[in-house]
Chain A
């Protein structure tokens, strides 16, 4: 299964962006040339006159989980929302710099097509007031996919590790589910359109530890076919669940490294201060 997904990835990537960027300074472990999904260069982001992100440079590698950590208000959620241009829904925002998805500038892409390729899961579960089935099928329907919805819905719910719990109640309201189930439903909904990247904005902050563990486990199974970037204020989660971690402070990227390296041998004193809990 994993290799098939890999092959599909390769084929897709080759078709879309012949110029894939290898991760240069960061050794990517067993893969000689790890591909980069997102390349962010010199990103400055503004809420009106107020600047929230300063000169951010980052590469988000494909098929890996990248965690964004940092104290409240450091700009990690703001940055994440730039990746699928969600900040555009707020008036008065703008950014300078480059954000490339597989080598293409996302500013020039059709925003709707971008959001199909880059999905998002939000902090609080936000299922639509529709049935479980209709929630998952929503993205499929609006993108014009008809026929065989049943199979696709089932597939997504399985990827989100929710199928067994809801398979007999697909036409019940989404609100009948518990908080943790609703969040997994939102993940299934996002996965239904088969995004290349999934952005997760503190997806477990409103959930209990058992559900959190379930979600982390499904993320692990997903990452081969779906690159993930997760914002989290929970350092243990970052340490457990991610391959790479980026630490942000006051709108700037302080340090970015393989998770194990960042947590055991942080290069920057501020990183060290944060992860040892001296502030946060």
Chain B
């Protein structure tokens, strides 16, 4: 009886442990499957036309997504100048100046903001930036994305600032540096590697967001001059083309998706690599 039970336990052991391995490798395989599908379906469409031309009218074959690429860049730029300073300075506050309760509230709220579904952020940006002026714009889209950049930046900044050892701060203060000077000339530069990486990761994350753009930037078939008009973006193109009935647009959706996927993955690989290896020394 005992022998039977032991055999059962041992076989169960092998089976379960194998299953966990299968699960892990299976999930990783999905990543490569995704990449594979995109390269297969979108790779051939990546020609010069694709990158340089504007979209053709509905139903027609050909054209490109040049305006979407530029649009995404413009939106990222806006998101950066709106969200990064807020995130950085708030992070500095939490790491260097914060009082106990207020810091707790700020941190909690930042986490809360991070968890808000991006479509709700889109509605908020719509309410603040589209309704008053009665039109969609790149600014509104940039604001929505900028808002999403804030929580990630705050967290990265605070974390990397806290990791700077006290001895470095004391070294500066012992030379007569005041607190803000120590922070600005020693602590932040020392943590800058990690902070910048965190910022890049934040931007990579919002680069792929579609939902907040649907009712702020809206999308645009043509170039979008200035900042006050609707603007196209890569994720919007992928979405709109994918749900359209046109085969050629489907093809372009795969290609645009490939471009987007590649950029996001490259940014993530680069940044995470840097964070894992360097810790916080920035020399």
A interface with B by C-beta (< 8 Å): 84, 86, 89, 112-113, 115-116, 119-120, 122, 124, 126-130, 138-139, 142-143, 173-175, 186, 189-190, 193
Contact = CB atoms under 8 A, between A and B. Distances in A.
Output the residue of A120, A127, A129, A190 with the most chain B CB within 10 A.
A129
Given A113-B176, A139-B176, A122 B168 contact: no
Closest CB pairs A-B (n = 3): A139-B175, A120-B174, A126-B167
Contact of A116 (B172, B175, B281, B282): B175
Contacts of B186: 128, 138
A111 to B, nearest CB: 8
B170 A115 contact: no
Interface stretch (B64-72, B116-124, B177-185, B260-268): B177-185
20 contacts: A89-B170, A113-B176, A115-B173, A115-B175, A116-B175, A120-B170, A120-B174, A126-B165, A126-B167, A127-B171, A129-B281, A130-B283, A138-B177, A138-B186, A139-B175, A142-B176, A142-B181, A142-B185, A175-B283, A193-B175
Given A129-B281, A129-B283, A142-B185, A122 B172 contact: no
Contacts, number: 69
Given A122-B167, A124-B167, A175-B281, A86 B172 contact: no
Given A128-B168, A129-B281, A129-B282, A138 B174 contact: no
A128 B172 contact: yes
Contact of B175 (A89, A138, A173): A138
Output the residue of A126, A175, A189 with the most chain B CB within 10 A.
A126
B189 interface: yes
B20 to A, nearest CB: 42
B175 A126 contact: no
Contacts of B169: 89
Nearest to B281: A129
Contacts of A126: 165, 167-168, 170-171
B186 to A, nearest CB: 6
Given A115-B176, A142-B185, A186 B282 contact: no
B193 to A, nearest CB: 9
B176 A86 contact: no
Given A128-B186, A142-B185, A116 B168 contact: no
Contact of B178 (A84, A112, A122, A186): A112
B130 interface: no
Contacts of A116: 175-176
A119 B178 CA distance: 14
Given A89-B170, A122-B171, A126-B170, 16 more contacts: A84-B174, A89-B169, A112-B176, A112-B178, A113-B176, A115-B175, A129-B190, A129-B283, A130-B189, A130-B283, A138-B175, A138-B185, A139-B176, A142-B177, A190-B175, A193-B176
A128 B282 CA distance: 10
Contacts of B185: 138, 142
A185 B181 CA distance: 21
A216 B34 CA distance: 65
A175 B168 CA distance: 13
Given A138-B175, A173-B283, A190-B175, A129 B189 contact: yes
A116 B268 CA distance: 45
A126 B171 CA distance: 7
Contact of B174 (A113, A119, A124): A119
Contacts of B176: 112-113, 115-116, 139, 142-143, 193
A175 B165 CA distance: 15
A86 B186 CA distance: 17
Contacts of A86: 170, 173-174
